[in-house]
Chain A
């Protein structure tokens, strides 16, 4: 089958403004969008810039907007798009470095603000081994351990588009992962950070983050749980 790719192009060193370029190429229905980008780069235009690493939906490097929705290019098959006209654009809300590559630093800056690491200064158990928890306690935050920090959720969020100071869904998901971990002791600290102006209450429940997440994390639910923990002070 023949597909038409319309790709956002912008080289700040040469272009005065972004533009779109169209490429027509042969593709299999089972090709991934990432395969098509590789074909364009290899056979049509070597200057096309995009990120990719594992190409199997684990590293989260190839996040981009495909036909108006944030996706990982390595997880979208041509046949699942329902059209042969494919528009590919960079993630919204982050500065374009070149073509489909965006500057992820503001995203990671927000991530770091929520203390996304294990906090517990208590002495380890007497046997010197790991801090145990029940399967139920582990299950409580299982969903939010799956985040790969691809940025798909945060850059699908209308609040983040308008204000980059908003921590965004990915940061909140990673805070959730530790807030509800029975071994962690930093929940109160994180909840205070997330109760700030740029925290969870900026979420407008647009739900785009949950729809877009390539790991199928129930992000809006996690955000609602953090909101509730702030309001009630309970971590159940």
Chain B
């Protein structure tokens, strides 16, 4: 039967190119949203609780958070590139929603995202190594 538990089971167990792209889109979207919410809250501390704000900034400079930021950059890039792919296909070229083209576009989206992400990731890794 349909419902949240069925959806969760499907997310975990189903296979396929489209499914992977859909899952990644969801995860990267939720990850980015989560970070954005946390960031809005900690920025609001400037007015309400300045010490808390300074504490949050110090936390962002810790190694685990800096590693998290590397994945955050990937999330933003992948979500953006895949979103553009979907908008382009769905609104302008429905004929590209074809079995083989669809599969290839999923792979290309991943490749483009990684290529765009790698330079930023390398700079961020270098910063972690230099500062810590």
Please state if A210 and B18 are interface contacts (CB–CB under 8 Å).
yes
Give B residues with C-beta under 8 Å from A: 1-4, 6-7, 9-11, 13-19, 21-22, 86, 89-91, 94-95, 97-99, 102-103, 106
CB within 8 A of A156: which of B11, B14, B21? B14
Chain A residues closer than 8 Å to B22, beta-carbon distance: 158, 204-208
Supplied contacts A68-B15, A156-B14, A161-B9, 5 more A-B pairs, CB within 8 Å: A158-B14, A161-B6, A162-B7, A164-B3, A224-B97
Q: Which positions in A face B, CB cutoff 8 Å? A: 65, 67-69, 89, 92-95, 106, 156, 158, 160-165, 204-208, 210-212, 216, 218, 220-221, 224-225, 227-228
Q: Give the CA-CA distance A69 to B94 in the complex, in Å.
A: 24
Are the CB atoms of B16 and A162 closer together than 8 Å? no
Which one of B10, B21, B95 lies within 8 Å of A161 (CB-CB)?
Answer: B10
Could you tell me if A208 and B1 are in contact, using CB atoms closer than 8 angstroms?
Answer: no
In the complex, A53→B111 CA distance in Å? 43
B90 proximity list for chain A (CB < 8 A): 205, 224, 227
Residues B10 and A158 in contact, CB atoms below 8 Å apart:
yes
Complex interface: chain B residues within 8 A of A216 (CB): 99
Q: Are B7 and A208 in contact (CB under 8 A)?
A: no
Tell me if B3 and A210 are in contact (CB < 8 A). no
By a CB distance below 8 angstroms, the chain A residues around B11 are 158
CB closest chain-B residue, reference A160: B2
Q: List 28 interface pairs A-B (beta carbons < 8 Å), by A numbering.
A: A65-B13, A65-B14, A89-B13, A92-B10, A156-B16, A156-B19, A158-B10, A158-B19, A164-B1, A205-B22, A205-B86, A205-B90, A206-B18, A206-B19, A206-B22, A207-B19, A208-B16, A208-B18, A210-B18, A210-B99, A211-B103, A216-B99, A218-B99, A221-B94, A221-B95, A224-B89, A224-B94, A228-B91
